[in-house]
A and B are shown apart, each in its own frame.
Chain A
Amino acid sequence: MSHPLRAAAFTSDAERTTWHDETLWFVRQKRDKAVYGIPEFQQLRQLASDIKEHTLSRLDEYLEQFEQNARANGVQVHWAADAEEHNRIVLDLIRKAGATSLVKSKSMLTEECHLNPYLVNNGIAVVDTDLGERIVQLREEAPSHLVLPAIHLKKEDVGETFHQHLGTPKGEKDPQALTEAARLHLREKFLIGEVAITGVNFAVAETGAVVVCTNEGNADLGVNLARVHIACMGLEKLIPRTADLGVFTRLLARSATGQPVTTYTSHFARPAAGREMHIVIVDNGRTRQLGRPDFRASLKCIRCGACMNTCPVYRRSGGHSYDFTVPGPIGAILSPNIDMRQHSSLPFASTLCGSCTDVCPVKIDIHAQLYKWRQIIAQEGELPAAKKLGMKLLSSVLARPGIYRLGGKIAREGLRFLPHGLTHAQALNPWAKARELPEAPKQSFRDWYAQQAVKQ
């Protein structure tokens, strides 16, 4: 199903759409306030972009350096070419540990690889421990935002879900009470302590450490009580030096939620005595993206979600309308790399206003890449038939001045006499779904201009 169709389903509830729009805009405003407090913020963005640019230009060397240092720390490093291999490696590690359950903190990579269903099908009980992720997991939904996984839900929805699964009183919708219920429920899971899976925000080549940022403390609680820690990372998470974390930790939370920093910025380098730590480095299309000069900058993304909070299309269509692990503008430039045919409508889910590019903390030219993907999608013949035909028709008209003039005349006259129901029929003119056509002028600009010339 294409983005417009899914978006139509979301926007059919106007009140909820408005709430979603305003809530995310509020997060954007919090981001602005945090950013304006830092005089060097623009310099930090440039630095972050440059550090990532450098890292990508020597990524093979940094990956090897990282692996070497991690191994020296007693960490086992695994490499996965694609999602399937990643999932196999993780399952294998869980089985070797003799575990049947695990706790998981936020990891968009494991979402991308569809790890949860894979593990569940293989008899492993998976518990997402980030509150938002737990909510959507209980509802058997996907996260709808990078950092606010349950932002598409209202507290009444969460209350109903917790009533069904956690036994909270029917009608309980107080966020404080619901969070407390989740805290107690998830503590039980943490205490079992077999295997903990985390994502990775940054991987430091010079130390072999991985850095995980959370507000809830669920990553640390999970890892530090479990016998085995598995950290799953895309290969673009590398940064060269510990000092570079100074730049990225100043940008990440401010861009994401307007906080000055996440509550926990945790550096894992060596497992505690008697425990195991594994790092799975995943490609899954990233090296292909690296080879596309127009699109490789998307690999700089630090998953802050600022581009979603500011995007007028995302705010009004919801994360699920993108039907991709990473929604919003950044998702719309990452997804065609994974499967262009399936995600061909996403680069069009944008007004090209450029707000995403303006807020991106690593200066990815998101809107320019959206535009470039559109060219490729059109060239590859992946446009919907109506759009393809429309474009063809339009280009043949625009190439013939006589036909263009005639067309204009017919349209001007027609709009005056044809019934509104016909000119605004949604099957014929989808543009008019929520818009009114302007009143048709009496004459064209060309006619008017010719008259002026005669008058003179």
Chain B
Amino acid sequence: MSSRESILAAVRRNRPEPAPLPPVADFGGAATVEQFTHWLHFIGGQVIRLAAGQPLTDAVRQLYPEAVRVASDLIPATVPVDQHTPTAVLEAVDVAVLRGELGVAENGAVWVPEANMLHRALPMISQHLALVLDHRSIVATMHQAYAAVQHTGNYGVFIAGPSKTADIEQSLVIGAHGARSLVVLLR
């Protein structure tokens, strides 16, 4: 008998009495820009509201005046990135400016599906990350977030703030392996 068969047989032999699956939960909550901003600040990120009519390119240039290598499909990019881009090129990206699909007010997370990433590694390998989000795409909690996303697709990530660690004496350090900073540009 294969391990697969023996494991499944053991599970069938030992599984407990049937227990019902609870219905999908939703506790409501505040889906506000204020909450989203509060929590993103709390976890080390930044929220910038774009003024009406302000071009995204200007906002990015203001935020990252030093950035030479910018990867994006939303503004003119200086580094073209697609899924075939070699690692050496990805590794040199200063800033990635990508579209976020939806924001979560209770924790500052932004849903970024594969289709928005240009390359799967780009949101993590880029030194800095800016996510452009429609302020109407903010939901209250993770319940509504998963309800809105429906299917998480081939690959997708909720990104909540910059990469961080507290593995040395519980001291918070921003910029572990992923992006050193995260800005959400709200429009």
Contact = CB atoms under 8 A, between A and B. Distances in A.
Nearest to B178: A217
A129 B83 contact: no
19 contacts: A23-B169, A57-B16, A58-B18, A158-B168, A175-B173, A179-B175, A183-B175, A207-B152, A216-B164, A224-B120, A225-B125, A235-B11, A243-B147, A261-B108, A265-B157, A270-B155, A287-B11, A287-B14, A288-B10
Contact of B19 (A50, A260, A290): A50
Contact of B177 (A26, A56, A150, A221): A221
B87 A225 contact: yes
Contacts of B155: 266-270, 272
Interface string A332-343: 000000000000
Interface stretch (B1-9, B46-54, B58-66, B73-81): B1-9
Interface of A: 23, 26-27, 38-40, 43-44, 47, 50-51, 53-54, 56-60, 63-64, 73, 79-81, 85, 129-132, 135, 148-151, 153-155, 158, 175-176, 178-180, 182-183, 186-187, 190-191, 193, 204, 207, 209, 215-218, 220-221, 223-225, 235, 240-247, 249-250, 257, 259-270, 272-273, 281, 283, 287-288, 290-291, 293, 296
A50 B20 CA distance: 8
Contact of A263 (B121, B146, B178): B178
A221 B7 contact: no
Contacts of A293: 16
Nearest to B158: A265
Contacts of A73: 154
B15 A58 contact: yes
B136 to A, nearest CB: 21
Contact of A81 (B6, B91, B123): B6
Given A47-B22, A57-B17, A261-B158, A290 B11 contact: yes
A358 B39 CA distance: 26
Contacts of A268: 155
Contacts of B173: 175-176, 179
Nearest to B7: A283
A269 B24 CA distance: 22
Given A43-B27, A60-B12, A240-B21, A264 B178 contact: yes
A224 B14 CA distance: 38
B91 to A, nearest CB: 6
B42 to A, nearest CB: 7
A364 B86 CA distance: 47
Contacts of B91: 187, 191
Contacts of B3: 79-81, 85, 283
Contacts of B108: 260-261
Interface of B: 2-4, 6-8, 10-22, 24-25, 27, 39, 42-43, 83, 87-88, 90-91, 104, 106-109, 119-121, 123-125, 141-147, 149-171, 173, 175-179
A183 B22 contact: no
A273 B82 CA distance: 12
Given A263-B161, A296-B16, A191 B177 contact: no
Nearest to B121: A224
Contacts of A216: 163-165, 176-178
B160 to A, nearest CB: 5
Nearest to B21: A54
A272 B13 contact: no
Contact of B146 (A50, A217, A220, A242): A242
Most B Cβ at <10 Å: residue of A85, A175, A179, A272: A179
A291 B17 CA distance: 11
A27 B20 CA distance: 34
List the 7 closest A-B pairs by CB distance, nearest first: A217-B178, A291-B14, A132-B167, A260-B107, A216-B176, A287-B10, A224-B121
B51 to A, nearest CB: 28
B170 A191 contact: no
A187 B125 CA distance: 9
A135 B167 contact: yes
B15 A267 contact: no
Nearest to A130: B167
Contacts of B145: 246
Nearest to B108: A260
B42 A260 contact: yes
B143 A242 contact: no
A215 B27 contact: no
A40 B123 CA distance: 33
Contact of A217 (B107, B153, B179): B179
B178 A63 contact: no
Nearest to A289: B14
Contacts of B163: 215-217, 263-264
A59 B142 CA distance: 25
A265 B156 CA distance: 8
Most B Cβ at <10 Å: residue of A207, A216, A288, A291: A216
A224 B124 contact: yes
A242 B159 CA distance: 17
B12 to A, nearest CB: 5
A149 B167 contact: yes
B14 to A, nearest CB: 3
Nearest to A86: B3
B44 to A, nearest CB: 9
A179 B123 CA distance: 20
A224 B112 CA distance: 15
Given A131-B167, A240-B21, A261-B108, 13 more contacts: A47-B25, A56-B16, A81-B6, A150-B168, A224-B125, A242-B151, A247-B143, A259-B43, A266-B156, A268-B155, A269-B155, A290-B14, A291-B13
